[in-house]
Structure 1
């Protein structure tokens, strides 16, 4: 997939596309000496990373403005959400959390270069202030669902929606998670892979 094909599919503005290109360039430069993503995946940035992340906008509730991306890594999907906020002219923010300082330094470099409404914090997810108020919680390639719900529960119990990328074994993860949690879930097929997006809400710990 090319950048123009990505723009045609998503409908983003030329300015937003330039933001994605800046992100791609900085990722390529940084990944040469700091392992952020698998090097072989960079050649397919526009579909495997950019579109894969940006497809979340098809499932985000209208009016959602505040996002938390757990285990943000190289910014998928957090930076894509922030670029989407800017593209839509929405007054919102994406909080990206990762325990690896080098990854957070990269995220901050992209935030500064693109001017997106985002903040990156170098902390462990479990130390995130439980009173943090967000509308949507996201994660991609971060943790098994039963652990992810534990990390995200302080945010989800306050009414946030969970949108979590999962692979082909998502059914096993759902079964394992239901041993300790009750929740409503919807399985959304991914547009870019054989994985899925899990839409999770009404999460409660099993007593």
Structure 2
């Protein structure tokens, strides 16, 4: 029988303060935004076309996840990275070994060029499906607007190292997705209120054990 340990009855904690960015990291985010805007005109990476809208909707939304990553030097990965949110932004903010998994070849090409232009030697792009990715044991795994929890949890359980966490931002369907997944998983659940979207919840999940555990 599977069960879940909660941080309260659907209570959402405030997020820890966002990371302080060094001038170098802030400059890299600016360069990343410029590159994204140029590529976006060709391959439609994000719906927004305005730089300030992208800063708020995507960059700030990604940065707020950084304090939820466990301390240390363990690698992190982002599933379905798309235009680099949150994975590439977190790679810039944390400086940690980061793996970006993106099966769309055009988006993977953008991520590869962005990492090279920004001098992010600690970033590796995997142009493949998630189930085919070869990853080291991860300290944290993220996925944003990719799939329901019941789909994401098997990937997290496969790739996370002991003590690792899955960080999944979710919109209005957050609690429904969790309810669907609970019959199949033992996990520790923490909820955080998004700073950029009051209707969104950020799940930090740990101690994952599934049906085969």
Q: How many residues were matched structurally?
A: 193
- Alignment partner, residue 94 of structure 1: 98
Give the TM-score normalised by the residue count of structure 1: 0.87
RMSD over aligned Cα atoms: 1.8
Q: Is the 8 A contact 2:70 2:164 kept in 1?
A: no
Answer yes or no: is 1:11 the counterpart of 2:20.
yes
- Alignment partner, residue 60 of structure 2: 51
| Higher relative helix content | 1
Give the TM-score normalised by the residue count of structure 2: 0.84
Question: 1:159 Cα shift?
Answer: 3.7
Gapped runs of 5+ residues in structure 1?
1-8, 87-91
Within 2, Cα distance between the matches of 1:112 and 1:189?
33
Instruction: Flag the 1:39–1:156 CA change in 2: closer, same or farther, 3 A.
Output: same
Question: 1:125 Cα shift?
Answer: 0.2
Instruction: Flag the 1:133–1:174 CA change in 2: closer, same or farther, 3 A.
Output: same
Select 1:189's aligned residue among 181, 193, 198.
193
Gapped runs of 5+ residues in structure 2?
1-17
Within 2, Cα distance between the matches of 1:145 and 1:70?
13
- Alignment partner, residue 35 of structure 1: 44
Within 2, Cα distance between the matches of 1:85 and 1:184?
24
Answer yes or no: is 1:119 the counterpart of 2:124.
yes
Within 1, Cα distance between the matches of 2:63 and 2:44?
22
| Greater RCO (Cα-Cα under 8 Å, separation 6 or more) | 2
